[in-house]
A = this chain, B = another copy of it.
Amino acid sequence: MSIEAERNKTGFWFTEDTGPDSRISLKLNSILFSGSSPFQKVDIISTSFGRTLVTDGKTQSCENDEKVYHESLVVPSFLKHGNPKKVFIGGGGEMATARECLRFPGVEKVVMVDIDEAVVKMCMKHMPEWGENCWEDPRLDLIYGDAYGEFERMEEEWDVIILDISDPIEAGPGIKLYTKEFYEMAKKKLSPGGVFVTQSGCGAVNNWDDCWSSIYKTLDEVFDTVVPYRSNIPSFACPWAFTMGFSEPVGDFKTGNGVDEKIEQMKPVFKGKQTEYEYYDEETHRCMFSLEKQVRKGLQAEKRVITMDNPVFMF
């Protein structure tokens, strides 16, 4: 065996159990930070996906495809609304959700509440491109605290409410933010024309029922219109789901017709070498909102409603 082959036999690996029966391993180039906050285990590593935030052993976002996730989470809701001025973000520790919101000059105020100051600080330090220094933007109000409690306490109305929190795992910090009780409160605090959106876990033909379908069903109990969609994010090892809720009819929103024009109108500002969205545009939108037959049937057939008393847990 050649010395090169010999050398390649070794390896440092980041291994993530993606279910009781599956495991993904990525070559680990370096460990930039490894520690624990009061809320979770926090690691920032480098793999072939670039720098990566890992909390409680689960990949949160990666340098190479974080834009797919964050553009998917933020931009469709903003376009649906048309002219959001006040935005609430629950979670969002990497600061990239705030970045996508503040990209729009029409936005006047973004309140972001993340429970874990340590995660936010480590992301600012080791993954500064995620946030693009948006924490210096005076329109941003960054609060460390319980998103549920803070949201309840604030007496404002919001044009867009974004939930960017970890998956609902047992005893995970965000479990309350996936309940019918929270969604009802969110609906009440939306301004007319307001849009709610939450990340919703795995979204493939074989795992839409991990938590997506029950999040969908729960939102469907609360909002007049609920629109599920998903994007394929390579580092998450499966298509990733999102769900929007609002009060108006859906119209032709899912076709994506007019998306490119609307982006023009809303004039998002890009920094550095970036001059446009990496992922999102009209055809991408059409893909995101066109779901596979099995997934559509599965979401429609779901009966579980998530409440404080009956939470739903992912692996």
Binding site for B on A (CB under 8 A): 1-3, 6-17, 19-31, 34, 40-41, 43, 45, 47-49, 54, 56-58, 64-65, 68, 169-172, 204-207, 231-232, 234, 237-239, 256, 277-281, 283-284, 286-287, 290-294, 296, 313, 315
Q: Which of B24, B41, B296 contacts A23 (CB 8 A)?
A: B24
Chain A contact residues: helix, strand, loop or mixed: mixed
Can you pick out 13 interface pairs between chain A and chain B where the beta carbons lie within 8 Å of each other? Answer: A3-B169, A8-B57, A9-B57, A10-B16, A13-B15, A20-B27, A30-B31, A65-B206, A206-B234, A207-B234, A281-B293, A283-B293, A284-B293
- The answer to whether B12 touches A14, judged by C-beta atoms less than 8 angstroms apart, is yes
Q: Report the bound CA distance from A234 to B15 in whole Å.
A: 18
A10 and B15 in contact, given A31-B30, A279-B292 (Cβ under 8 angstroms): yes
Besides the known contacts A10-B17, A231-B292, A286-B287, 6 further A-B residue pairs in the complex with CB atoms under 8 A apart: A13-B13, A20-B27, A65-B206, A204-B234, A205-B232, A283-B296
- The answer to whether B294 touches A279, judged by C-beta atoms less than 8 angstroms apart, is yes
With a cutoff of 8 Å between Cβ atoms, the chain B residues found around residue A34 in the complex are 12, 29-30
Q: Which of B1, B47, B278, B315 contacts A294 (CB 8 A)?
A: B278
The 5 closest A-B pairs by CB, nearest first: A10-B57, A287-B290, A21-B48, A21-B27, A3-B171
Q: Report the bound CA distance from A44 to B21 in whole Å.
A: 18
Closest to A27 in B: B21
Q: Which of B13, B27, B170 contacts A3 (CB 8 A)?
A: B170
Closest to A49 in B: B206
Interface centre among A2, A231, A287, A315 (most CB of B within 10 A): A287
Closest to A25 in B: B23
Closest to A14 in B: B12
A169 and B19 in contact, given A31-B30, A283-B293 (Cβ under 8 angstroms): no
Interface centre among A6, A54, A232, A315 (most CB of B within 10 A): A6
A169 to chain B, nearest CB (A): 6
Q: Report the bound CA distance from A18 to B103 in whole Å.
A: 36
- The answer to whether A12 touches B41, judged by C-beta atoms less than 8 angstroms apart, is no
- The answer to whether B283 touches A291, judged by C-beta atoms less than 8 angstroms apart, is yes
Closest to A238 in B: B234
A66 to chain B, nearest CB (A): 12
A255 to chain B, nearest CB (A): 9
- The answer to whether A45 touches B12, judged by C-beta atoms less than 8 angstroms apart, is yes
